[in-house]
Amino acid sequence: MAPGTPTEEDPRIRTDLLGEGDALVPGSGHPLAELTFDVPGGELIFGTNGASASWLEVPTRDFMGIPVLDVIVAGESHAIFFDTGAPISYLQNVEHSALPSEGTYEDFYPGFGTFETETWRVGGAGFKLRVGQLPDLLGLSLMMGGASGIVGLGLIRDRKAAYSAGGGWLRLAHPTMGTPDSVG
């Protein structure tokens, strides 16, 4: 199996589905106001009742159907794409020498092929992610989209999350709600 290929243990959710926030739930005639991810429970829920108002809400905006989050990393503001197809996260042009190493990771990007990256652990407040750097050519494509990184499946792998394209938010269950820190 090729590196980066989704498996039962490492599910991926298509980004074209994430951009359908104002579409209709198939067969229901109702707007798809919310998409809830329960990766630990193995469920993807279409509807409006999946997220709790007590969850952490992160504002999102849209770039060509891709959700964009504005975050602060090492004291600097970054726009990052939310891509559930990315098994790990990526940040370009961030000083990482003081971060704990997570070893080398082999990934695959369609149209580019297989590549390796050194990875580090970043995070706090219950959100820990494995982060690498994209090859220069892929990093350039991020910059063309106004982003300096990608937050991948690791953000939601061990917790419930809900996304609303029309509402402009991503809600994340708190780790105190019985879900462990994400590392991925």
Go through the domains of the chain in sequence order and give each one's CATH number.
Answer: 16-177 (2.40.70.10)
pTM above 0.75, yes or no: no
Which residues lie below 8 Å from residue 1, measured CB to CB, with a gap of 6+? 7
**Confidence (pLDDT) at 168:** 86
Highest mean pLDDT range out of 46-60, 96-110, 119-133? 96-110
Lowest mean pLDDT across 95-109, 112-126, 164-178:
164-178
Q: At residue 18, what are phi and psi to the nearest 5 degrees?
A: -65, -35
Q: What's the length of the chain?
A: 184
- What percentage of the chain exceeds 90 in pLDDT? 26
Which residues lie below 8 Å from residue 148, measured CB to CB, with a gap of 6+? 78, 79, 80, 91, 92, 93, 94, 142
**Confidence (pLDDT) at 103:** 95
Output the CA–CA distances (angstroms, integers) from residue 163 to 123, 154, 159, in the order listed: 21, 15, 13
**Confidence (pLDDT) at 130:** 92
Report whether pLDDT(109) > 50. yes
Q: Could you tell me the pLDDT band of residue 93, with boundaries at 50, 70 and 90?
A: confident
**Confidence (pLDDT) at 183:** 40
In this structure, how many other beta carbons lie within 10 angstroms of the beta carbon of residue 39? 21
Mean pLDDT of the chain: 74
CA Rg, the chain, in Å? 16
Which residues lie below 8 Å from residue 136, measured CB to CB, with a gap of 6+? none
CA-CA distance, 184 to 176, in Å (whole number)?
19
The arithmetic mean of pLDDT across residues 105-133, rounded, is 88
More confident residue, 150 or 24: 150
Report whether pLDDT(73) > 60. yes
Report whether pLDDT(148) > 90. yes
Output the CA–CA distances (angstroms, integers) from residue 94 to 110, 122, 137, 155, in the order listed: 25, 11, 17, 19
Q: What is the DSSP string of 110-129?
A: TTTEEEEEEEEEEEETTEEE
More confident residue, 38 or 152: 152
Highest mean pLDDT range out of 2-6, 39-43, 102-106? 102-106
**Neighbouring-strand partners of residue 56:** 172
Q: What is the pLDDT of residues 28-66, one digit of tens each?
A: 444 445 677 776 677 666 665 555 667 788 899 989 888
